[in-house]
Amino acid sequence: MIVRPMRPDEIDVTVNLFRYYAQEAESSNPRFGDEFDVNSVIKTIRHRTINPMNVWLNLYANSRPVGFITGSVAQCPWNHTIFYAHTEMFFILREHRNMNTFRLLVDEFETWANQFDAQHISASDMGVDPDRTQKLFSHLGFKDGTFLYRECA
């Protein structure tokens, strides 16, 4: 397995991976299915492959994309010489899920973040099981933090 940036000719299969992500997320958050919009997904993926402060990395088994991780890097608001990286979503097809493939995704994300001299990496995943996400990242040495959300009134 390898992890690398998505190539332009892989946009369709990457959108399909995102669709699988949304379908899985729908079981814990039904809005994902209702709100899923292919054009928005394409725009998001393109933005994250073009904008240098964002990244979209695909996981490949042979030449077939089987997962992804995406996130960004930002300057710390109180000191612009400090950078933080943040994973926002990740997904691996069920038949390829294990700690080694997850670690591969996160390690490659960290390698990307290192080009900005990122000093911290935070992690979240809005769509899929929060307890599972916390356990996965904890296994890789991430510490608990605070990430809370609510619906806007």
In a domain, 144, yes or no: no
Residue 147 has pLDDT above 80, yes or no: no
Does the pLDDT value for residue 148 go beyond 70? no
Look up the CATH number of the domain holding residue 135.
3.40.630.30
Cα separation, 61 vs 67, whole angstroms: 9
Q: Calculate the dihedral angle through the C-alpha atoms of 145, 34, 25, 36, rounding to the nearest 10 degrees.
A: -90
pTM given for the model: 0.86
Whether residue 81 lies inside any domain: the answer is yes
Looking at this protein, which amino acid is placed at residue 82?
I
Query: Which residue segment(s) compose the domain that 64 sits in?
Result: 2-139
Does residue 83 lie in a domain region?
yes
- Find the angle CA(26)-CA(123)-CA(3) to the nearest 5 degrees: 85
Q: What span, in angstroms and rounded, lies between the C-alpha atoms of 124 and 131?
A: 11
66-105 tens-digit pLDDT: 999 999 999 988 888 889 999 888 899 999 989 999 999 9
